[in-house]
């Protein structure tokens, strides 16, 4: 039914389930950030707060795009929830700082294939004034854009190869 609407279908699917609780969770996260910065004695500048907002949006784009890619698999499977739950379990890795992982294949996979370490570490490093070089936030911005484009291409591929629920 959504495919027949005269509105961008991806947009309709993305905003179909909007819950106010998610906004409250985000605001509580912001409260924790402000409290933590106060405890550390750090006072970010306006530029750092703006940069934080930009890299958070890029991280949100990465997360949204990866989830959307996984949701597209539902065109060919009966239930794709197991795959999505697997992604959430992998995202638990993002709770740790990147330095907790040894350099090598493991760290490279969770930075460039499933960019969880970029998404979770770059915004925090920016506010804590621990970014060593601009490559990290540039990598996150690039990864956000790349993931969005890939998910859009996969969405279009999925729609072209959708045969209907009754087939």
Judge whether residue 3 has pLDDT over 80: no
- pLDDT tens column, 79-115: 767 777 878 887 787 777 888 888 888 788 888 888 8
Instruction: Name which residue leads in pLDDT, 16 or 45.
Output: 45
- The pTM of the full predicted model, rounded to 2 decimals, is 0.81
Nearest to 119 by CA among 67, 47, 83: 67
Judge whether residue 126 has pLDDT over 70: yes
> What ranges do the domains of the chain cover?
45-160
- pLDDT tens column, 6-39: 677 788 777 777 788 888 998 999 999 999 999 9
């Amino acid at each position: 039914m959504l495919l027949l609407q005269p509105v961008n279908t991806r947009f309709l699917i993305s905003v179909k389930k909007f819950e106010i609780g998610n906004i409250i969770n985000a605001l509580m996260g912001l409260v924790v950030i402000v409290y933590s910065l106060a405890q550390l004695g750090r006072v970010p500048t306006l530029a750092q707060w703006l940069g934080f907002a930009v890299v958070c949006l890029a991280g949100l784009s990465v997360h949204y795009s990866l989830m959307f890619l996984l949701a597209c698999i539902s065109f060919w499977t009966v239930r794709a929830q197991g795959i999505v739950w697997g992604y959430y379990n992998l995202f638990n890795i993002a709770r740790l700082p990147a330095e907790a992982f040894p350099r090598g294949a493991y760290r490279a996979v969770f930075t460039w294939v499933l960019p969880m370490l970029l998404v979770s570490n770059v915004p925090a490093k920016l506010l804590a004034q621990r970014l060593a070089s601009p490559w990290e936030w540039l990598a996150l911005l690039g990864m956000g854009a790349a993931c969005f484009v890939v998910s859009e291409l996969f969405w279009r591929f999925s729609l072209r190869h959708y045969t209907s629920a009754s087939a």
